Amino acid sequence: MNTEQKEKVSENAIAIGQALQSAVAKALEKKKKLGQYAVIWDDKTQAVKKI
């Protein structure tokens, strides 16, 4: 049974996604400059990864 629905993504949702990407990129860059690390999930290895 295929229950997948294809809907258009609203412009507002796209703007929110872009804002989130920008905020995360800024936060990771700041951590890198301060010599800190971040912990993320790596889907390829199915494990936590320190960056």
How does DSSP assign 2-48, residue by residue?
------PPPHHHHHHHHHHHHHHHHHHHHHHHTT---EEEETTTTEE
CA distance 28 to 39: 10
pLDDT at residue 3 tops 80: no
The amino acid present at 2, given as its one-letter code, is N
Asked if 50 contacts 37 with a C-beta cutoff of 8 angstroms, the reply is yes
Average of per-residue pLDDT across 22-33: 96
Whose CA is closest to 37, among 46, 28, 45? Answer: 28
Condensed to tens digits (0 to 9), the pLDDT of residues 31-48 reads 999 999 999 999 999 999
Please tell me the predicted confidence (pLDDT) of residue 8: 86
Identify the band that residue 16 occupies on the pLDDT scale cut at 50, 70 and 90.
very high
pLDDT at residue 1 tops 60: no
